Chain A
Amino acid sequence: AQSVTQLDSQVPVFEEAPVELRCNYSSSVSVYLFWYVQYPNQGLQLLLKYLSGSTLVESINGFEAEFNKSQTSFHLRKPSVHISDTAEYFCAVSGFGTGANNLFFGTGTRLTVIP
């Protein structure tokens, strides 16, 4: 079975400062990893994903995440945040076998960017 832990429920950060949102997972098999973003009163949008290959993945709006198999982590980072990055961020994992498309989500981290 897979599970995801997001230790920080809320992260306030000043505009233009760097941010890291932490995600750790547990799984007995290889996994695929995702970060989704949810803006207020909206559905979830895929931010970035790790399926295979390079362990560093990037999004089009400046976020990046690094898959670290030895530490079972997939932390999300951005070197300089903008007001528009204020949202809730969810880390998720999916695996193999029956229901391999099923996503297991962390509890979310609410990022608040302060002007």
Chain B
Amino acid sequence: NAGVTQTPKFQVLKTGQSMTLQCAQDMNHEYMSWYRQDPGMGLRLIHYSVGAGITDQGEVPNGYNVSRSTTEDFPLRLLSAAPSQTSVYFCASSPGLSGGAHEQFFGPGTRLTVL
């Protein structure tokens, strides 16, 4: 199993550009989520999904969109990048409540810089 994979590893954008961060998992996990990590602030939840076709907002959803058309994929879209979105983004997955577990498995991260 590859686990949770994220692409790209690094990205530089100009203010106003849009892009999609890709996340995929091969563990058949129901639950997937996106976090951003900023210095001194820990990780904060952006969006999450409890299954294909179901998404919801986390703590800091503004400026981001998600969709979950398949169990495996959970892309994060930046609609119009802003310097405040410079951060490291982590995708995570979990078997979900029906799997009896709350542990989340994290991808390696995408480091995004918005100029």
**Known contacts A34-B103, A44-B90, A105 near B42 by CB under 8 Å:** yes
Does B26 reach chain A (CB closer than 8 Å)? Answer: no
Does B104 sit at the interface, judged by CB under 8 A?
Answer: yes
Q: A92-106 CB contact bits vs B (8 Å, 1 = yes)?
A: 001000111111111
Cα(A104)–Cα(B45), bound, Å: 8
B43 touches A90 (CB 8 A): yes
Chain B nearest Cβ from A18, distance in angstroms: 25
Measured CB to CB, the closest approach of chain B to A69, in angstroms, equals 18
A34 CB contacts on chain B under 8 angstroms: 102-103
State whether B31 touches A101 (Cβ < 8 A): yes
A106 contact set on B, CB distance < 8 A: 42
Chain B residue with Cβ nearest A9:
B40
Q: Tell me how far the C-beta of A40 lies from the nearest C-beta in chain B, rounded to whole angstroms.
A: 12
A101-B97 CB under 8 A given contacts A43-B107, A44-B106, A49-B103: yes
Known: A99-B56, A101-B33, A101-B48. A43 touches B90 (CB 8 A): yes
Among A38-93, those with CB < 8 Å from B are 42-46, 49, 51, 90
Q: Are A107 and B48 in contact (CB under 8 A)?
A: no
Q: Is B76 among interface residues, defined by CB-CB distance under 8 A?
A: no
User: Across the interface, which residues of A come within 8 angstroms of B75, CB to CB?
Assistant: none
Q: Are B50 and A103 in contact (CB under 8 A)?
A: no
Q: Are A108 and B42 in contact (CB under 8 A)?
A: yes
Picked from A42, A100, A108, the residue with its CB within 8 Å of the CB of B97 is A100
Flag if B97 contacts A103 (CB, 8 Å): no
Other-chain contact of B102, A42, A43, A101 (Cβ < 8 Å): A101
14 residue pairs of the A-B complex, CB under 8 angstroms, read A6-B42, A43-B4, A43-B109, A45-B106, A49-B103, A99-B56, A101-B94, A101-B97, A101-B102, A103-B35, A103-B43, A103-B45, A104-B45, A107-B42
Q: Which residues of B contact A (CB under 8 A)?
A: 4, 31, 33, 35, 40-45, 48, 50, 56, 58, 90, 92, 94, 96-97, 102-109
A residues with CB within 8 A of B: 4, 6, 9, 32, 34, 36, 42-46, 49, 51, 90, 94, 98-108
